[in-house]
Amino acid sequence: MLSRLLKTRTIATAIHRHAYTNVRCLSTFDKHKDVFHALGLDKSNNKGVFDGEWKGSGNIVPSYNPVNNEVIAEVIT
C-alpha cells in the first residue's frame, strides 16, 4: 500500500515538474503573444511616441523581464 502511494506521488511530481519546465521554456513574449497581437504589438519595431498617431524614429529602447532579464519587446522612441 505504501509503495503504491509513493509510486503515485513520484509520478505526479514528475508530471508536475515536466509541465512547469515546459511553461518556463516559453519566452515572456511567446506566452502572451495572443494579447500582444490583439493590441497590434510586435516584439520589435513598436512606435513609442503618440502625437495623434503612433510614430517614432529615435533610439530603440528594450523592455526587460525583471525575473530573467530577457528582452520582452523593443520600442522606437
The reported pTM is: 0.51
Q: Rounded mean pLDDT of 60-76?
A: 89
Residue-level pLDDT at 40: 83
User: CA-to-CA distance for 16 and 8, rounded, in angstroms?
Assistant: 12
The tally of domains found in the chain comes to 1
Asked whether residue 71 carries a pLDDT value surpassing 70, the answer given is yes
Contact 74, 65 (CB under 8 A): no
Q: Rounded mean pLDDT of 11-28?
A: 60
The single-letter code of the amino acid at 19 is A
User: CA-to-CA distance for 73 and 63, rounded, in angstroms?
Assistant: 5
Average pLDDT of the chain to the nearest whole number: 76
Q: Rounded mean pLDDT of 36-53?
A: 84
In which domain, by residue range, is 72 found? Answer: 2-76
Residue-level pLDDT at 31: 83
User: CA-to-CA distance for 67 and 28, rounded, in angstroms?
Assistant: 10
